[in-house]
């Protein structure tokens, strides 16, 4: 998710500015992460404890009415790319009963009580009014317009995340909600194409039910709505990899923003410079995520799987390749098996090129469903390529992994060590040395 402008606009959250120092997360809390770290380091890598014995192995939430979340043909965000991901996943893993994927296809809009887990009643009333208005009403400074039926459309996306969360908690298998991931919406306002924050509502429900949540966000934009929404919560570990807020909307997500009160030391921001690429994401992900999750010991993992970090994206410049996304997906699935007995909700997110969004999310589905994931060189199905052409009037890529050539990355090994050092100092943890 994201907005069409760039810059350093800072949201009116009432929270300290990123450079305000936050008086040190270490001082505020002797960090559960730090105290648990040494113990967790000795955990055997073979601590699996989760065995897939039944079919299906993944639940996918997709209702054709998710399309109703539509800002119009001129707007950069479209659920059409997610629909093409679903079609591709259906093509390579044909629906069957029983089969490796359970499809949840009928999702009514979320009830008001569900939305109120995260959103304020006054804001819900404002969206309801915009939803009924005959003329377009802007819901934020300009990127997120209301439209007829926007309340129900956004509430249906929320219900998708809620359904996915309920399914994974109950069934102990991963759930995938490609249409979701609207991580910029705040309790009282829309932001960055996001009217309601489906992932935050799902996290709120898990917290309300006394669960600990590890929230991972790999969208190119900082997941500000989720992070600030749980900034003081000791039940939410939030780890967010994104393009540096000095170069991209929403202008937040600095390492010094590390949580407050019970949440101190549990909000982990990993900003990367434009052009960073796989050489930045992959080693940092492997050094940071398993270590902190093993220390925190979540009950469920929630992933916002934006694809706007993909090389060639029209709004961000992180230059990740499909191989990096597949690596992240396999790592996350392994951690869910190890730590949460398979309780994992993965949503979609931003991504403004249909060719990358569709293939990356579809391959994520194959990895989560534990079927043979196609490798980069494998050809895409001819039937899907025809659907792609019919939907977009453009030629589909030929293989799963072809992508624009990344420009040379400015990221150096010393940049990784410097960032790791800042995180260790801010969070009061020690991260593994480079492998």
The CA-atom distances, in angstroms, between 106 and each of 57, 84, 156, 182, 358 are: 19, 18, 10, 20, 21
For Zn ion, the closer CB: 194 or 333: 194
Rounded distance, CA 57 to CA 349, Å? 22
In whole angstroms, the minimum distance from the beta carbon of 136 to Zn ion comes to: 23
Three-state DSSP state, 362: helix
Residue 306: CB minimum distance to Zn ion, A? 5
To Zn ion, the closest distance from the beta carbon of 183 in angstroms equals 8
Structure tokens belonging to residue 163? 């359904």
User: What residues between 162 and 181 interact with Zn ion by CB under 5 A?
Assistant: none
For 228-264, letters b (16+ CB in 10 Å) and e give bbbbbbbbbbbbbbbbbbebbbbbbbbbbbbbbebbb
Number of residues that bind Zn ion (CB under 5 A): 8
Q: Which is nearer to Zn ion, 309 or 428 (CB)?
A: 309
- Are 310 and 348 in contact, with CB atoms under 8 Å apart? no
**225 part of the interface to Zn ion, by CB under 5 A:** no
Closest to Zn ion by CB, 212 vs 221, is: 221
Q: Binding mask 264-303 vs Zn ion (x if CB under 5 A, - otherwise)?
A: ----------------------------------------
User: What is the Cα–Cα distance from 221 to 249, expressed in whole angstroms?
Assistant: 6
Closest to 212 measured CA to CA, from 294, 287, 315, 146: 294
- Give which of 391, 410, 229 is closest to 318, Cα–Cα: 410
104 has which bridge partners? 61
218 in contact with Zn ion (CB under 5 A): no
- Choose, from 119, 177, 183, 184, the residue flagged as catalytic: 184
CB of 350 to Zn ion, least distance (A): 3
The correct pick among 1, 199, 236, 248 for binding Zn ion (CB under 5 A) is 1
Q: 68, 140, 308, 355: which one contacts Zn ion (CB under 5 A)?
A: 308
Contact pick of 219, 238, 338, 355 for Zn ion (by CB under 5 A) = 219
Asked about 184 being catalytic, the answer comes back as yes
How many residues belong to the chain?
Answer: 435
Alpha carbons 106 and 103: distance in angstroms, whole number: 9
- Residue from 65, 119, 221, 359 touching Zn ion (CB under 5 A): that is 221
Query: What does DSSP assign to residue 142?
Result: S
CA angle 213–224–281, rounded 5-degree value = 75
Tell me which residue has its CB nearest to Zn ion: 350
Return the number of the residue (194 or 336) whose C-beta is nearest Zn ion.
Answer: 194
Residue span 187-216 as binding mask against Zn ion, x where in contact by CB under 5 A, dash where not: ------------------------------
Nearer to Zn ion, 253 or 350 (CB): 350
- Whole-angstrom CA distances from 78 to 18, 74, 130, 179, 358 are 31, 10, 20, 10, 12
Stretch that binds Zn ion, among 54-62, 145-153, 218-226, 411-419 (CB under 5 A): 218-226
What is the closest distance, in whole angstroms, from the C-beta atom of residue 168 to Zn ion in the complex? 23
CB neighbours of residue 216 within 10 Å: 27
Site for Zn ion in 386-425 (CB under 5 A): none
How far apart, in whole angstroms, are the C-alpha atoms of residue 21 and residue 27? 12
Q: Check residue 224 for interaction with Zn ion (CB under 5 A).
A: no
CB of 355 to Zn ion, least distance (A): 17
Q: Which is nearer to Zn ion, 191 or 366 (CB)?
A: 191
Cβ at position 218, least distance to Zn ion in Å: 10
Answer yes or no whether residue 145 interacts with Zn ion by CB under 5 A.
Answer: no
Residues that bind Zn ion (CB under 5 A): 1-2, 219-221, 306, 308, 350
Residues tagged active-site: 184
């Amino acid at each position: 998710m994201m907005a069409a402008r760039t810059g350093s606009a800072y949201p009116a959250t009432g929270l300290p500015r990123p450079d305000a120092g936050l008086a040190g997360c270490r001082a505020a809390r002797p960090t559960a992460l730090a105290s648990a770290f040494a113990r967790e380091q000795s955990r055997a890598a073979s601590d699996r404890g989760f065995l897939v014995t039944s079919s299906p192995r993944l639940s996918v939430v997709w209702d054709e009415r998710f399309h109703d979340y539509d800002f119009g043909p001129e707007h950069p965000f479209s659920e059409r790319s997610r629909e093409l991901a679903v079609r591709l996943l259906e093509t390579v893993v044909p629906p069957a009963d029983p089969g490796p994927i359970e499809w949840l296809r009928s999702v009514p809009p979320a009830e008001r009580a569900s939305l109120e887990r995260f959103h304020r009643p006054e804001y819900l009333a404002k969206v309801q009014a915009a939803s009924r208005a005959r003329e377009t009403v802007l819901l934020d400074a300009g990127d997120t317009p209301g439209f007829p039926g926007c309340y129900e459309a956004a509430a249906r996306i929320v219900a998708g995340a809620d359904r996915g969360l309920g399914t994974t908690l109950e069934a102990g298998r991963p759930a995938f909600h490609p249409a979701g991931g609207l991580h910029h919406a705040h309790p009282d306002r829309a932001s960055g194409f996001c009217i309601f924050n489906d992932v935050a509502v799902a996290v709120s429900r898990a917290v309300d039910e006394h669960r600990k949540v590890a929230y991972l966000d790999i969208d190119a934009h900082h997941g500000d709505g989720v992070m600030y929404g749980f900034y003081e919560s000791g039940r939410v570990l939030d780890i967010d990899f994104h393009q540096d807020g000095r170069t991209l909307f929403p202008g937040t997500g600095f390492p010094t923003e590390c949580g407050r009160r019970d949440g101190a030391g549990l909000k982990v921001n990993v900003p990367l410079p434009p052009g960073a690429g796989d050489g930045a994401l992959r080693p940092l992900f492997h050094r940071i995520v398993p270590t902190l999750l093993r220390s925190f010991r979540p009950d469920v993992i929630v992933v916002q799987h934006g694809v706007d970090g993909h090389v060639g994206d029209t709004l961000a410049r992180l230059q990740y390749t499909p191989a990096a996304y597949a690596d992240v997906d396999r790592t996350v699935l392994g951690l869910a098996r190890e730590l949460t007995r398979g309780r994992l909700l993965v949503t979609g997110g931003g991504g403004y090129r249909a060719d990358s969004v569709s293939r990356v999310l579809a391959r994520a589905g194959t990895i989560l469903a534990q079927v043979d994931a196609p490798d980069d060189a494998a050809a895409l199905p001819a039937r899907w390529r025809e659907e792609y052409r019919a939907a977009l009037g453009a030629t589909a890529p030929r293989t799963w992994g072809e992508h624009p050539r990344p420009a040379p990355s400015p990221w150096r090994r010393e940049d990784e060590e410097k960032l790791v050092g800042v995180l260790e100092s801010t969070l009061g943890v020690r991260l593994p040395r480079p492998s």
